[in-house]
Structure 1
Amino acid sequence: MSRKVIKSSRSRLTRLFDSLKPENLISTLIGLFTDVSYIPVICFLLIVFELALNLLIVQRVKYTEIDWSTYMQQVRCFLNGTLDYNNISGDTGPIVYPAGHLYVYTLLYFLTGQGKSIQLGQYFFILLYLFNLIAVFNIYNRVRKVPPYVLMMMCLTSYRIHSIYSLRLFNDPVAMFALYLSVNLILSKHWKSAALLFSIGVSIKMNILLFAPGLLITFLEETGPYNTLKYLSICAFTQIFLGLPFLLTYPVNYLTRSFNLGRIFLYKWTVNWRCISETLFLNRNFHLILLVLHVILLVIFFGKRYSSLLRKPKFWSKVTFQTRIRNKINSNQDKLTNSRILLTLFTSNLIGITVARSLHYQFYVWYYHSIPYLIWSTNYSTVSKLCLMGLIELCWNTYPSTIMSCWLLHLSHISLIYSLWKQTNRLTC
């Protein structure tokens, strides 16, 4: 036995020294950046680097006040006993987020000495950013579709994302962290926990609902209609539980303020509609057209899957789905792969973002970490994929937005959606 151990050790040392030879070193380094099997190594190095980089950003770059003081003022109203959402407000206006937002920033209120120690808040968001990256990296490691060098670009090339996390303290990153945790649980088939975390994300900010059409079809295809109703009930109960103090006192004010689908955005902050006039931007008919386009795109992408699913004879059989889940039977017809689940969720979100009534700069985190996966799910060449990533990044880093940056962003989204649609029928389970 000892001889075998010695022989194995010698073999490993031989391979190690061979890889360090000049003629092999280059190929080893190239493989490190291009071979998906090296994703865990690259991700670990990126986490360490990002920790140092974000600490440096907080120390060297001046913090810019946008919404933090308003969040803290809203928390003070809440802590003073105000449960009427019409009376919970701050410098930039009344609260427009569900109860989960208040609870998160109440915690930050106490952690930062009533909101006075902004730097402590920044350190919290550095940790949030790192944990969010770990969740995202775990997703990419499970599907191993995107090469490591693209994940490096995702981390190291976006000034805007680092700014949103470390210098702005918006609630968007908190909601997206809950979403990516939910996605990880979906890939692990922990459906109840996934539904709970998804609903928690919605309770922080409503943009998480853009993933809902994809989540619904994932639940239906993976677990069947009866379990889907159970998981949707978990989502609903979570919203009721978190909003209970406000629902028991001023329910109408809470629902109309926190889930206000008709909210008016400011034209000066728009990233995607600078290419139209402010009058058209604020026009209700324009908003209705965007809503109709949203529904049409969802039907184009998912309509056939819904209809074919409903026509399956065994779809409504509770026993069939329970048996399949219990026995963990894998089949191309009955079970989605992790890749297809991700593409369903991320495409659902991308469609909503493409036809959004307005995108502000902090909304970039709504889909930033899913962009590489979406682009690498197309049949574009590698050069075209990198150019598409670069164009989207350029548009989001143009401040203030211009007519040209808006059109480029729309063209990038449309080209991405079109290529994904072409690939839809070729996806393998």
Structure 2
Amino acid sequence: MSQVTGFLGGERDYSNLEGDTGPLVYPAGFLYVYSCIQYITGGLILPAQVLFGILYIINLAIILFIYIKTDVLPWWALSLLCLSKRVHSIFVLRLFNDCITMTLLHAALATLLYQKWLLGLIVFSLAVSIKMNVLLYAPPLLLLMLKAMDISGTIVALGGAATVQIVLGFPFLISYPVAYISRAFNLGRVFIHFWSVNFKFVPEPVFVSKKFAVSLLLIHLGLLAVFAHRRWCKHEGGLLKVLHTAYVATLSSFPLRQLYAYGTTSKTLKEEHIVTTMFVGNFIGIVCARSLHYQFYSWYFFSVPYLLWKTPFPTLLRIALFATVEYCWNVYPSNCYSSAILLCVHLLILWGLWIAPVGYPYLDDNPSSSKKKK
């Protein structure tokens, strides 16, 4: 509320927008959303909590829709999605913008299940305009678009996403563009060591060092490349084969024919393949994040049951890992032991995802249409 006060007063220089929690570091969508919240609630906490309670229910409904569409979990395991004390706190007590961002991201993912890539990218861009953490989903999303469409169709969808950012940021881009871009899209921020939930065991001088940040970035990119080549593109012959196929399809599609019906698909990807690729890609980013603050749990909590049931682990181990992740996020303040345990659990889940069977990604020409339920 304090950060949007200057904006409501007519300030358009991002370098002058700040509040009790510090300078404003979110894109323009954040300002519009919280300005609306301030108008609706009058700045009072209780009405805002009611709004976020409703938001929580909407987000949970979207997530349940995604889970039911993919049919990965048994019905009873869906209850895990509403058992997190920390997530309830993030939504209804803390009122973080992460909640709005992730609700939009899940809405975008639900749209992608219907192969509506342009619409999905627009909703995805709306999520980015509130907080940039959803960019962790960008690499797997780009790969999925290249598999479903050719390069030209992907460019059209990306153009729709870019248009959203330009329109929302227009008042700031025409007045103080440098201040807006440098503040709202700053990827080089160094987080405070005290608030780290995942790397608290790392000494603070190492934690804030550039070498540590670069090392994690390289590991992140390496894991994305390996998973893309060996897992997400396995049935197509690897990542390079997918890129080559998209390039050839682009050359053969000129002139563009209705731009793939405004962002729809030329190949139909399985819903499970879309969700798995998106959730795993984001989880890789979570594993390699230099600092996870408490509100960041909302970035991936709703995907944890899905990821666990995609591993070949026995059910009891899945539940134990879920409970351990929740425990680590409820230790306050985090310590060396809780952060080390969380990292180990993350790595174990990632290993389980690596050794899990890879399903055929397309609805057409599926060599094994029978689906095994666990």
Q: What's the TM-score, normalizing by structure 2?
A: 0.89
Moved segments of 4+, more than 4 Å: 319-323
Matches of 1:320 and 1:340, distance apart in 2? 30
5+ residue gaps, structure 1: 1-71
- Please give the residue correspondences for 1:10-409 in structure 2 after superposition, counting only pairs within 5 Å: 72-113=1-42, 115=43, 117-155=44-82, 157-303=83-229, 305=233, 306-312=239-245, 314-316=248-250, 317-318=252-253, 334-409=267-342
Contact 2:80 2:305 in 1 (8 A): no
- Say whether the 8 Å CA contact 1:196–1:238 is kept in structure 2: yes
CA offsets per residue over residues 121-159 of structure 1, 9 Å max, x none?
00000110010011101101111111122111221x211
How far apart, CA to CA, are the structure 2 residues paired with 1:404 and 1:322? 57
- Give the drift of 1:372: 0.8
Partner Cα distance (1:248, 1:299) in 2: 38
Instruction: Tell me the C-alpha RMSD between the 2 structures.
Output: 2.1
Alpha-carbon spacing, 1:243–1:123, altered in 2? closer, same or farther (3 Å): same
d(CA) in 2 for partners of 1:85, 1:314: 44
Contact 2:146 2:243 in 1 (8 A): no
**If each structure's helix is expressed as a fraction of its own residues, which one has the higher value?**
1
The CA distance in 1 between the partners of 2:58 and 2:295, in whole Å, is 19
For CA contacts below 8 A with separation 6 or more, give which structure has more relative contact order: 2
Q: Distance in 2 between matches of 1:354 and 1:409?
A: 9
Instruction: Name the structure 1 match of 2:368.
Output: none
The Cα of 1:428 is off from its aligned counterpart by 2.4
- Alpha carbons 2:98, 2:299 under 8 Å: kept: yes
The amino acid across from 1:401 in the alignment is S
1:427 aligns with 359
Q: Secondary structure at the match of 2:341?
A: helix
Q: Assess if the C-alpha contact under 8 Å between 1:146 and 1:376 holds in 2.
A: yes
Q: Alignment length, in residue pairs?
A: 350
Counterparts of 1:163 and 1:73, CA distance in 2: 21
Q: Conserved in 2, the CA contact under 8 Å of 1:224 and 1:321?
A: no
| 1:102-132 CA-partner distances (Å, limit 9, x unpaired) | 100000010111x1x1100000001100100
Deviations 1:383-404 (A, max 9, x none): 1111111111111111111111
Question: Tell me, what secondary structure is at the counterpart of 2:202?
Answer: coil
Cα distance, 1:427 vs structure 2: 2.1
| TM-score, length of structure 1 as denominator length | 0.78
Distance in 1 of aligned mates of 2:248 and 2:204? 52
Secondary structure at the aligned position of 1:200 is classed as helix
Secondary structure at the aligned position of 1:243 is classed as helix
Q: Is 1:270–1:358's contact at 8 Å kept on the other side of the alignment?
A: yes
Alignment partners' CA distance in 2, 1:246 and 1:153: 42
Q: Identity of counterpart residues, as a percentage? A: 41
Distance in 1, Cα, partners of 2:26 & 2:121: 20
In 2, distance between residues paired with 1:186 and 1:318?
22
Shift of 1:303: 3.4
1:142-185: CA deviation from partner (whole Å, max 9, x where unpaired): 11111122111221x21101111111100000000110100010
> What residue ranges of structure 2 are gaps of 5+ in the alignment?
234-238, 362-374
